[in-house]
Structure 1
Amino acid sequence: MHHRFRTALIVALVAGSALALAACNTGVVKRVSPPAASVQQLTVRADGGWDVALRLQNFSSMPMRFDEVKLTLKVGDEDAGTLATQPALSIGGVSADVITLQLQPSSGARLLIADALASNRTLGYALKGTVSATPQEKKQRSFDIDSRSTLNQAPGLPGVLR
């Protein structure tokens, strides 16, 4: 009987020590994940150009500075143009921010957007290219972006797709 009590006490002490050690190791795991980019809003200006609100999503567990964006925008089957900027924008871990870029779209893309707005229909788009970002305390990396989604007319906002 005495032997069982001593064994149970040793097991309890070892388990308690393991829990205490586990409690000490509560640091955040620093993980770098590829970011994402999407069109949050596309506004057709009076001059026919577009204001493209580009949402940059940081899926990493640490802040990243977004240094360069170079993405080809395609609406429907038409190449609209290239969204290129050097935002030098820091986005916290598992967060997002929006930058607005001006684009003079191709005539084919301009016609597609005008038709989608006039007929109030959904229009598919694609972003393809690279986003360069620097994770906190690490080297800059270039991430490939290849995403597709859709835009719909924003109710009550003429010339705006979301």
Structure 2
Amino acid sequence: MRFRPQYALIALAALALTACGGGKVKRVSEPAASIQQLTVGNDGNWEVELRLRNYSSMPMRFDSVALAVKVGDESAGTLSATPGVSIGPESADVVSVRLQPSSSARIVVADALAGGRSVFYELEGSIGVTPEDRKQRSFEVKSRNSLSQAPGLPGVLR
């Protein structure tokens, strides 16, 4: 059998290409937001613990949040914040946002707390994020969920 340099060259090129293809794919996915906890203050205002979720395969800095909140069927107002928090890949973090809710939303939450019932909520708006080494992007977000009274913590829904 005779040595053929072209076959050795092809094998070497294939090996080099295989080595180049092993890197991790950087994927930017739509972030998510949900209310982790809502605390009704003595003044009637709400302290909202907003859970921000990064589904991307790279770290993302959460620059801005503007989410309209509905409780039951009532509009409560808009959660607006500039958290400036960096969240790792496929991870989440919580930021506190103060909200002065509408009077009709206050009544819905007070009624749920007084009756020990859950209350449905909806978030709709945008989240501005900056993926690692990329330009800032804005994502439209819409989510629905419910909150229930936290046992032993008056005025707290989780």
Which category of TM-score, normalised to the shorter sequence, fits these structures?
0.7 to 0.9
| TM-score normalised according to structure 1 size | 0.86
Deviations 1:117-156 (A, max 9, x none): 0101111000000000010011111000111000000111
Structure 1 residue aligned with 2:115? 119
Superposed displacement of residue 23, structure 1: 6.3
Match of 2:135 among 129, 133, 139: 139
Instruction: Tell me the residue number matched to 1:60.
Output: 56
Indicate the SS of the match to 1:90. strand
Moved beyond 2 Å, runs of 4+:
17-26
When the two structures are aligned, how many residues end up with a matched partner?
Answer: 151
Instruction: Report matched runs for 1:80-99 at 5 Å.
Output: 80-99=76-95
- Structure 2 CA distance for aligned equivalents of residues 18 and 126 of structure 1: 53
Deviations 1:19-58 (A, max 9, x none): 9965664321100000000000000011111000000000
Gap regions ≥5 residues in structure 1: 1-13
- For 1:118 and 1:26, the matched residues in 2 are separated by 57
With normalisation by structure 2, the TM-score equals 0.88
Q: 2:145 aligns with which of 134, 137, 149?
A: 149
Which amino acid in the other structure matches residue 78 of structure 1? E
Rounded to whole Å, the distance in 2 between the matches of 1:131 and 1:29 is 23
Matched residues in 2 for 1:37 and 1:107: separation? 24
- Decide which of 75, 83, 87 is 1:79's aligned counterpart: 75
Asked if residue 100 in structure 1 is aligned to residue 100 in structure 2, the reply is no
CA RMSD of aligned residues (A): 2.1
Partner of residue 6, structure 2: none
SS at match of 1:28: coil
